[in-house]
Structure 1
Amino acid sequence: MKIGIIVAMQKELDLLLPLLNEYNDNTVNDIALYEGRLGNHEVTVMQCGIGKVNAAIGALTLIGAAAPGLVINSGVAGGTGYGAKILDVVVGDRVAYHDVWCGPCGAPRGCVQGLPQYFEAPAGVLASPVFDRDGVKRGLIASGDQFVDSVEGLAAIKEIYPDVMAVDMESAAIAQACYLKKVPFLSIRVISDTPGAADNAAQYATFWDDAPRHTFDVLVSLLETL
Structure 2
Amino acid sequence: MNIAIIVAMTKELELLLPLLHNTSRTTVNDYTYHTGTIGHHEVTVMQCGIGKVNAAVGTLTLIDTFHPAIIINTGVAGGTGHGASIGDVVIASAVAYHDVWCGPGTVPGQAAGCPLYFESPLTPGTIERMGADLRRGVVASGDIFVSRTEEVQHILEVIPEAVAVDMESGAIAQVCHLKNIPFLCMRVISDAPGATHDNIAQYENFWEDAPRHTFDVLHRLLEVL
TM-score (norm 2): 0.95
Corresponding residue of 2:202:
203
Corresponding residue of 2:179:
181
- How far apart, CA to CA, are the structure 2 residues paired with 1:202 and 1:166? 18
Corresponding residue of 1:157:
155
- How far apart, CA to CA, are the structure 2 residues paired with 1:34 and 1:206? 28
- How far apart, CA to CA, are the structure 2 residues paired with 1:125 and 1:41? 22
Alignment check: 8 A CA contact 2:4 2:43 kept:
yes
Corresponding residue of 1:4:
4
Is it true that 1:221 corresponds to 2:211 in the alignment?
Answer: no
Q: CA deviation at 1:133?
A: 2.7
Query: Paired residues, what number?
Result: 224
Q: CA deviation at 1:194?
A: 0.7
C-alpha deviations, 1:133-162, integer Å up to 9, x for none? 32x111000000000000111111111112
Alignment check: 8 A CA contact 1:171 1:187 kept:
yes
Corresponding residue of 1:92:
92
Q: CA deviation at 1:225?
A: 2.4
- How far apart, CA to CA, are the structure 1 residues paired with 2:71 and 2:160? 27
Structure-2 change in CA distance of 1:118 and 1:132 (3 Å): farther
Structure 1 gap ranges (5+): none
C-alpha deviations, 1:62-85, integer Å up to 9, x for none? 111111111000100000111111
After the TM superposition, which residues 16-95 of structure 1 pair with which residues of structure 2 at under 5 Å, given as runs?
Answer: 16-95=16-95
- How far apart, CA to CA, are the structure 2 residues paired with 1:126 and 1:108? 31
Aligned residue type for 1:220 = H
Q: CA deviation at 1:222?
A: 1.3
Aligned residue type for 1:76 = V
C-alpha deviations, 1:160-193, integer Å up to 9, x for none? 1122100000001000011111100001000011
Which one is further off, 141-150 or 116-125?
116-125
- How far apart, CA to CA, are the structure 1 residues paired with 2:200 and 2:142? 19
Alignment check: 8 A CA contact 1:81 1:194 kept:
yes
Aligned residue type for 2:87 = L
Q: CA RMSD in A?
A: 1.5
Alignment check: 8 A CA contact 1:131 1:138 kept:
no
Corresponding residue of 2:170:
172
- How far apart, CA to CA, are the structure 2 residues paired with 1:225 and 1:127? 7
Runs of 4+ in 1 over 6 A off after TM superposition: none
Partner SS state of residue 208, structure 1? helix
Structure-2 change in CA distance of 1:214 and 1:150 (3 Å): farther
Alignment check: 8 A CA contact 1:87 1:192 kept:
yes
Alignment check: 8 A CA contact 1:131 1:137 kept:
no
- How far apart, CA to CA, are the structure 1 residues paired with 2:214 and 2:72? 11
Aligned residue type for 1:91 = I
Structure 2 gap ranges (5+): none
Corresponding residue of 1:139:
137
